[in-house]
Structure 1
């Protein structure tokens, strides 16, 4: 259940996999993570990118997933130091 600040009450902190049907899932991440890691956030989502994404949604999802995984790995490696 979303709270007034948009967070899900009772949800664990950090990314959460959510079922979307058809054997696929999405990831819910904190807004600041999405803003910093998403290739399609804000000014990075240019018309050419939108057009390309619309032609191949699986490719767009993989690109976003790979960017998210890279950001998580970089964050985790920073914590290990």
Structure 2
């Protein structure tokens, strides 16, 4: 592995089991993880990222503080 990098990490036992079960069907660990994510929640990672991003947007009477100035002042002066 001339151009590779070795990473010491812990992987959940369930994921290791899934990797072993799927190793004949997939070409990479990334694909195995994607399959595992899809099988757990039913969404592809791209859709899940979209949902998470949209959940951060203010809804109704809520507002988003931009991090500038005092948070308390921003709340108290809000109209």
> Please, what TM-score do these two structures have when normalized by structure 1?
0.27
Which is richer in strand? Answer: 1
> Please, what TM-score do these two structures have when normalized by structure 2?
0.27
